[in-house]
Structure 1
Amino acid sequence: MQVDFYQLSRDSVDQVLPAIAARILGLGERLLVVAQDEAQLGRISTGLWAGPPESFIAHGRAGEGKESLQPVLLAQDCVPANGARHIALADGLWREEALDFDRAFYFFDAVTIDGARESWRSLSKRDGVTSRFWRQEQGKWVQGP
C-alpha cells in the first residue's frame, strides 16, 4: 500500500486534485475523495468542473444516488461506494481506513502539518506501507526525501 503525502503550499487541494484524479482515471481506476467539510467538497466539485471541456472529470457526491457509477466519488467517509481502490484525503486529516485502499493521497497544509508529521512517523513503522512525500516548488511537484 502506498501513501503519497502532498504538502500544499501554493495551490489549494481543489486546484491540485483534478490533475491527480485525471491520472487515476487515465489508469482505468476510480477515486474516492474524502473531506469532512461539505463546503470543501463543494469547492473540490467545482474544481473538477472548472477545466476545459476535454478535461472534465465526471464525479458525484455520496448520498446523491448512483454512487457505484461514479469514477470519482466525493464523500465525508471512507466508504468506497464507487468501488475505488484509490483514496484522496483532502482535508488534512489521516484516517486509518485509508489503509484498506491500494493507494492514498494525503493532502495537508500549514494548518494540518502537525497531524501529517505524526501520520508520517506512524506509517513509516508499518510493514507493507510505502510513504512518499511531495512538495510544490516553482509550480511543480517535487518528491522529497
Structure 2
Amino acid sequence: MSDAKPEIWFYHLERSTLEQVLPGLMEKTRERGWRALVRAADARLLDDIDERLWTYRDDSFLAHGRASGPEAARQPILLTESQENLNAAQALFIVDGSELGDTKGFERCFIIFDGRDETALTGARVRWKTLKDQGAALAYWKQSPEGRWEKAA
C-alpha cells in the first residue's frame, strides 16, 4: 500500500442506480489486482449490496465478505460500516455519504452519490469543496446521455 495521497473520484449517478454501477466498478478494481473496501453507514444498504454482488449476473458473481464475518482480512471485496481497512484494500468505495475517514494506504477512493437525491448532491458538493481545499487529487465522473462515464473535472 502507498503512503501517498490517493486519487479521489466522485461518481455522479444520474441515469443508473448504485446497484447497476457498483458491480462493474468492483470488476474493474479486481482486474487491477486491487482489493476493495465498500463502506456504508446503513447496514441495510450493505445487505442489499451483499446480495447484489452474488447475483448481479447470471454467469458470474463477485466474491466478497462482511467485516463482521469470518476471514474478513482475506476478502477481495469487504463490506463494512467501520473505518478500519481490515482487508488491506487499495480501493475504498463510499456509497451513502458515510465518512471518508483516513485515506492513508488507499490508491483510489470512490465517492458514489445519487444526483437525483438533493441531500446526496449537496453533501457531495460540500465534500468536493472541502477535499479540494485540502489539496486532494480529485476527479469528477458523470454519465453521458448514453450512460457511459465521462470525466468532467
Partner of 1:73: 78
Partner of 1:57: 62
1:93 aligns with 2:101: no
Contact 1:32 1:88 in 2 (8 A): yes
Q: How does 1:2-41 map to 2 (within 5 A)?
A: 2-41=7-46
1:133 aligns with 2:140: yes
Alpha-carbon distance in 2 for matches of 1:53, 1:68 = 27
Q: How does 1:97-136 map to 2 (within 5 A)?
A: 97-98=102-103, 100-109=105-114, 110=117, 111-127=119-135, 129-136=136-143
Contact 2:39 2:98 in 1 (8 A): no
Unaligned ranges ≥5, structure 2: 1-5
Alpha-carbon distance in 1 for matches of 2:105, 2:130 = 16
- Partner of 1:112, secondary structure, is helix
Sequence identity of aligned pairs in percent?
33
**Pairwise CA RMSD:** 1.6
TM-score of the superposition, structure 2-length normalised? 0.86
Please point out which of 70, 82, 97 is paired with 2:87.
82
- Partner of 1:7, secondary structure, is strand
Partner of 1:143: 151
**After superposition, what is the alpha-carbon deviation per residue over 1:101-127, rounded to whole angstroms, capped at 9, x for unaligned?**
221000112231111111111111223
How many aligned positions are there? 144
**After superposition, what is the alpha-carbon deviation per residue over 1:32-58, rounded to whole angstroms, capped at 9, x for unaligned?**
000011110111112211233553110
Alpha-carbon distance in 2 for matches of 1:95, 1:23 = 21
Shift of 1:30: 0.1
The residue identity in structure 2 corresponding to 1:134 is W
The residue identity in structure 2 corresponding to 1:136 is Q
TM-score of the superposition, structure 1-length normalised? 0.90
Contact 1:36 1:91 in 2 (8 A): yes
Contact 1:30 1:83 in 2 (8 A): yes
Contact 1:32 1:78 in 2 (8 A): no
